[in-house]
Structure 1
Amino acid sequence: MRLKTINSKFIIKAALLVGFMSFNFSNAQEIIEDEAPQVEKAKDSVVNTTRIKADGVAAVVGDFIILESDLDREIAQLKAQGADLKGLTRCELFGSLLESKLYAHQAIQDSVIVNELYIKSRVDQQIQGILGQLNGDMSKLLKFYKKDSEQALRDEMYEINKNAYLAQEMQGKVTGDIEVTPEEVRTFFNDIPKDERPTFGTELKLAEIVIIPEVTEEAKQAVIDKLKGFKVDIEENGSSFTTKVLFYTEDAASKPDGGKYTLNRKQPRMVKEFRDVAFSMQEGEISEPFETDFGYHIIYLEKIRGQEYDVRHILLRPELTQEAIKKAKDEIDEVRAKIIDGTLTFAEAAREFSDQKETKFEGGQMTNPTTQDFNFELTRMDPELYSQIQDLKDGEISEVLQDEDRINRIKFKILTVTDRIDDHEADFAKDYLKIKNLALQDKQIRAVEKWQKETIVDTYIKINGEYRDCDFQSNWLKK
């Protein structure tokens, strides 16, 4: 039963990280309007329950108060975000909410430093993200959240983000340094009864060859000249940098906020070239055009606050000529033909011709971004990638595919399946990395349980109402 317990706990924690430990405004469909406060009978499951109207203080954890209606709002947020709550009870979800508050409370006791500028910047990004989907209508946003003013909304978002930040920092302190040795992994695996060992789904190893159309020097210079023109117009004619951003920038992420980013010398977020330019500037200065992998930029340094730099930027990407696109397409067609007729192996062609730096020197072998190994589990594969390889037989070369990414508007690629591992029961040698992750999760859970047990004893906790009838995994009732 040990493995089932691990999976159950981590399903709950993964779901709650979406809602309880973040205030996610990345999609307008995820916004849930407050309804009349309601609480389900605490022992019932999330979905099939008789509901009774109530509100009041459901629990107190240290300095934090949890209202009866808080859990309903969080469950509604989780459902809207697509979290699978089937089989989870309100008691289990409420217990995890208590846990997040315990983390946040203890973080305050341990004097965990809150990066207030980071929190405010995150709130700014969240509000701008929603407004971008509401056509900039702040009154509609305030009405939706039943707030009298923008400041009231910002204050509430700030508190939620701050508490989530504290909880995450504290959780990191508890589990961040935990590692497992090979012997611990072996012991963990051997302790799982044979009939309870996990089954891993079909996995593929994939390789790719990517050809990216080349940008001409003329196209690069045209973008540089355009950015220089913006700089002159702003400095000499008083034009607005923010207005230029709204009309011209190709950075969709920062456009709704007027191209604004907050950089911190101690917390790298941007690419090195961007940071180097920003940190070399004086307040109020506009940079000369410079290049990153994403294109060409100019930066306006708006404000310096100690280690924090508020910047706005305009991103332009050089145009691709039809000749460059055709040349890239012809090249990958030729490469594919050479692989099929046996002139080159796929790996040889990748090393010689591919423009994808991350895979080129591995013979095109792709790395799973989630597991950091070469295996892609079919049921967990990115849907777009799955659609590209679902009909490929082992060793078969795909047709030429046109694709894009954050850096390249157009790229051409071919894919192949280099190995296939069918559904199978966990094998220590073949599945070591997966088993190691399960062993690490088990050790982290035990560390959290030990930390909770000790911290609950030393923290003021009061559970009210029907939640006192819950059979919590942790001793929240201090029985």
Structure 2
Amino acid sequence: MHNQPIQPNRFIYVAAAIILSIVSAFQAQAQAPVNRLVDGIIAKVDNQIVLRSDLEFSYLQYLAQTKQQPSEDLKCEIFKSLVQDKLLLARAEIDSVTVEDDRITGELNRRVDYLSAQVGGVERLEQYYNKSIRQLKEELRKTIKDQLVMQKMQEQISGKVRVTPKEVAAYFSRIPQDSLPYFSSEVELAQIVNYAEVSKQQKQEARQQLEDIRKRILAGEDFATLAKQYSQDVASAAAGGELGFFKRKELVPEYEAAAMRLEPGGISNVVESQFGFHLIQLIERKGQEYNSRHILIKPATATVNIQEAIAELDSVRNLIVNDSISFAKAAKDFSDDFNTKDNGGSISSRAGTTYIPMDQVDPSIFFVIDTMEVGEISKPIQYRTEDGREAVRIVKLISKSTPHQANLKDDYPKIAAAALNDKKSRAVDEWFRKNIDTVYIEIDPEYQDCKALQLTQ
């Protein structure tokens, strides 16, 4: 249990498990279901419950992500984390701690966007799980709400905890020498991105195609039939373009505005959004929810615009190399990537830090940066973004470490983060000890001997 000390504590890990691996959670649903004959409640915390399947899934997921060896002690530790999660939720209900609906919806949309990017777009996501985006969001909403409430409770408990350099050094000194982790080569990278824009001609061609389809519908042809034939939103096309009921702010503003202006059965004019051009028919409206169908046509990206993007970034690179502008200022002024442009172009790792293990570097730039010197800026590199857009970027190699055993000089930020997590974990444990008697807790006899659960006894 103590051979890998420089890691996030398990309480924080489990509370964020589905945030970090939500694709895995959906894959578990898409594959063979848990055998409900052996499932059952193994813990009750007021109105919150932990199922045996919750523990098994979290346990196997943790083993897969950390490559640790299976052990009953580890399973008990995971079980403790799940019980603690439920205690957070139970206390949040008692203390009336809530999260705004807009925040839940925003986080829901962000995670679905992330999922879509991982599988190559909304259509592929819907095809893969054989569910509409609406259905996926409905299944995720409660999970995300619970996670946000737990985060808010945890922030109230340990948000003000800080560590001093002296505490970081003391934390590191307690780690046995033979347990110090070995870090592989890592890099810090920054980028400036240009997306290849769709030409006016291509936009006009897509718009005109929808205008012609609209004329056919107004002349009497069936919208749903034409959606199946022409719509490039593959998932909804199979259902005649129908999307199902959505609330306000759940679809892009341009689409929602056009749909909400219609009467049931009405057909919109051609509407442009970030996804392309839509022709919309309102099916039904219920209060603040509405059901619609659409036909989507996407303009293609012109090769000539890729060359324009390359030329533009080459000019920006020359300005930086000649010290006419800093990389950070150029990123802010010229980059099309909103995730990195305001922080100097810095690219984050999966763990949310600026240090990226070389085995996690985007393959499209791996071999480029492997031959670069620290401080060097690459020539423009053409690539395809996670959501399928054609783009070009220049990359700066900020730093590159050599493989080494953990030490305070080279790894202070990581060790400090681990020390902070450790201190926060102890603050959370103390909170549990003080609040354990404020809720009803029942543990299945099979797990009452878990050493990790001693604080709940």
- Asked whether the two chains share a fold, i.e. TM above 0.5, the reply is yes
What's the CA shift for 1:468?
1.9
Helix, strand or coil for the counterpart of 2:451?
A: coil
How many Å separate the matches in 1 of 2:261 and 2:143?
A: 33
Q: SS at 1:237's partner residue?
A: coil
SS state of the match for residue 211, structure 2? helix
1:32 equivalent in structure 2: 32
Q: Secondary structure at the match of 1:226?
A: helix
Q: What residue is the counterpart of 1:86 in the other structure?
A: 69
C-alpha deviation, 1:220, in angstroms: 1.0
Structure 1's unaligned 5+ residue stretches are: 39-54, 137-153
> In the alignment, what sits opposite 1:140?
none
1:185-200 correspondence to structure 2 within 5 Å: 185-186=164-165, 188-194=167-173, 196=175
Give the whole-Å Cα distance in 1 for the aligned partners of 2:431 and 2:238: 42
User: What CA deviation, in whole Å up to 9, does each residue of 1:254-273 have, x standing for no partner?
Assistant: 667746276544xx555554
The alpha carbon displacement at 1:172 in A equals 2.9
1:218 aligns with 2:197: no
Hey, what does 1:453 align to over in structure 2?
Answer: 433
RMSD over aligned Cα atoms: 5.4
1:471 aligned onto 2:451: yes
Q: TM-score, normalised by structure 1?
A: 0.65
Matched, 1:95 2:80: yes
What secondary structure sits across from 2:8 in the alignment?
Answer: helix
Q: Is 1:288 aligned with 2:288?
A: no
Consecutive unaligned residues of structure 2, counting only runs of 5 or more, are 117-122
Higher relative contact order structure (alpha carbons within 8 Å, sequence separation ≥ 6): 2
Which has the higher mean CA deviation after the structures are superposed, 335-344 or 390-399? 335-344
Cα-to-partner distance string for 1:23-78 (whole Å, 9 max, x where unaligned) = 9664479623445866xxxxxxxxxxxxxxxx765443334555656644665677
Instruction: Calculate percent identity across the aligned residue pairs.
Output: 25
Task: Give yes or no for the alignment of 1:425 onto 2:407.
Answer: yes
Offset at 1:412? Answer: 3.2
- SS at 2:5's partner residue? helix
Cα distance in 1 for partners of 2:236, 2:454 equals 43
Match of 1:320 in 2: 301
Structure 1 CA distance for aligned equivalents of residues 227 and 292 of structure 2: 12
Farther-moved stretch of structure 1 (394-403 vs 465-474): 394-403
Question: Structure 1 CA distance, aligned partners of 2:221 and 2:268?
Answer: 16
Q: How do residues 42-53 of structure 1 correspond to structure 2 at under 5 angstroms?
A: none
| Offset, 1:404 | 1.4
Q: Cα–Cα, structure 1 residues 349 and 199, in superposed 2: closer, same or farther, change >3 Å?
A: same
CA, structure 1 residues 76+417, in 2 after alignment: closer, same or farther (shift >3 Å)?
A: closer
Displacement, 1:292?
3.3
Task: Name the aligned partner's letter for residue 401 of structure 1.
Answer: I
Matches of residues 302-321 of structure 1 in structure 2 within 5 Å? 302-321=283-302
How many equivalent pairs are there? 429
Return the structure number with greater helix share.
Answer: 2
Q: Residues 75-224 of structure 1: matches in 2 within 5 Å?
A: 75=59, 84=67, 86-87=69-70, 89-106=74-91, 109=94, 132-133=127-128, 164-165=143-144, 167-177=146-156, 184-186=163-165, 188-194=167-173, 196=175, 202-224=185-207
Task: Report the residue type matching 2:31 in the other structure.
Answer: I
Q: How does 1:230-269 map to 2 (within 5 A)?
A: 230-241=213-224, 243-251=225-233, 258=241, 260=243, 263-265=246-248, 268-269=249-250
Query: 1:174 offset after TM fit, Å?
Result: 0.8
> Residues 369 and 315 (structure 1 numbering): CA distance in 2 closer, same or farther, change over 3 Å?
farther
Say which is worse superposed, 363-372 or 225-234, in terms of deviation: 363-372
